[in-house]
Amino acid sequence: MKKRHVFVAASAFMLLAACNSSNEGNGQENTSKDGNSDTGSITVTDTQGEQTFTEPAKRVVALDWTYVENLLALGVQPVGVADVENYHKWVDVREELSDDVVDVGLRTEPNLEAIAQLEPDLIISANYRSENIEEELKDIAPMLIFDPYPEESKGITHYEEMETTFREMAKVVDKEAEGEAILAELDEKYEEGKEKIESMDLETRDFVLTMAYTDNQAPVFRLFNPNGMAPAILEKIGLNNAYDSGSFELYGYATTGVEELLSVEDANFLHIVQDDDGLFEEGLANNAVWNDLNFVKEGRVYALGGDTWPYGGPLSAMTLIDRTVEALDQ
């Protein structure tokens, strides 16, 4: 299901991080409307503020799968990726990672030596993953650090953050036109999905979306909350999220047991479960609560596949739409 490409990058020294508002020389006077100066510098905004680069990034290490996917969407192969094996297990998008991409360790514990050996000119990470080793990473190369799960006080949704980050990444690799084309394609995908949903004779358009798994032989459900990105995607194609934990969930979901499903048993049950988990065959087969749920008894349980990634970028959003439409159209 996954394909691969080769990406050849230029020298690591072609990208230099410059200071922001305190730049010497022309500074703000030569900044154009798109944030890039007359001299060709590139200004990108992340959690650190404005980061200015003199050249587009070419040798990029991505320490979170969302940023891997975003680079691929923009036509850029990263030189290093954290946890390649599990990326292939959990994320299925149309653009494929090259066999030549170097695995640089776990997302939670990347290998600094392996990253340094790649001589990257940019490292991209999520703030909650890199905070403990941020200085060590910055000793290797300039960094862009994003916050995929903004707190409620930030006033930006997970979905809005996804689009904003995608556009900032497009700037730093000089692929802004390509980025806008991808977002336009996603908008078209929403319209196509909505038309297909409207044409279906569904008993209900309400849904609950879960990433479920077995933990200590017990079924566990991550039920996606209204502030999560995945429900926002599905609502754009005309479906209605039936689950609400009643509070803001930082990561966009609440972790529950099977009893919580009683509150959404009249909705369509969409699930992301790894094929080798055994959740349904072993954990739920003889569970009285599960077997008595309306969506189980009425055959409204829909598998989206374990590699439907609900935390990704535009390409993962397209995968989620396609698989949801296909699952419901039965």
Looking at the structure, do residues 280 and 214 belong to the same domain, yes or no? Answer: yes
One domain, residues 266 and 152: no
Question: In terms of Cα–Cα distance, which of 299, 233, 236 is closest to 265?
Answer: 299
Q: Is position 150 within any domain?
A: yes
Alpha carbon of 151 to those of 147, 227, 247: distances in Å? Answer: 9, 10, 12
Q: What is the pLDDT of residue 131?
A: 84
- Cβ neighbours for 108, distance < 8 A, ≥ 6 positions apart: 129
* Number of independent structural domains in the chain: 2
Looking at residue 4, what is its pLDDT? 38
pTM of the model: 0.87
> β-pairing, 143-146 with 122-126?
parallel
Whole-number pLDDT of residue 101: 98
Residue 89 phi/psi, 5° resolution? -75, -35
What value, to the nearest 5°, has the Cα angle with vertex 124 and ends 250 and 25?
Answer: 115
Residue 279 lies in a domain: yes
Whole-number pLDDT of residue 37: 42
Whether residue 116 sits in one domain with residue 55: yes
184 within some domain:
no
Say whether both 156 and 242 belong to one domain.
no
Residue 95 lies in a domain: yes
Q: Residue 301's closest CA among 225, 198, 212? A: 212
Residue 191 lies in a domain: no
134 and 228 assigned to the same domain:
no
Q: Are residues 245 and 290 in the same domain?
A: yes
Residue 152 shares a structural domain with residue 213: no
Residue 32 structure tokens: 């154009």
Domain check: are 243 and 317 in the same one?
yes
Same domain as 240, residue 161: no
pLDDT value for 25:
37
- State whether 49 and 169 are in the same domain: yes
pLDDT of residue 194: 98
Task: Read off the CATH number of the domain in which 151 is found.
Answer: 3.40.50.1980
- Mean per-residue pLDDT pooled into runs of 10, the chain (330 residues): 38 36 37 47 96 96 98 98 97 97 96 98 94 94 96 94 98 98 98 98 97 96 97 98 96 97 98 96 95 98 98 98 96
Other C-beta atoms within 10 Å of 297: how many? 11
Range of the domain at 214: 200-327
Distance CA 67, CA 123 (A): 10
- Determine, yes or no, domain membership for 11: no
Instruction: Kindly report, residue by residue over 88-106, the tens digit of the pLDDT.
Output: 999 999 999 999 999 999 9
Give a yes or no: residue 294 inside a domain: yes
Q: Which pLDDT score, from 0 to 100, does residue 130 have?
A: 84
In this prediction, residue 258 carries a pLDDT of 97
pLDDT value of position 11 = 36
DSSP letters along 284-299, please? ITT-HHHHTSHHHHTT
Per-residue pLDDT at 13: 33
For residue 164, is it within any domain? yes
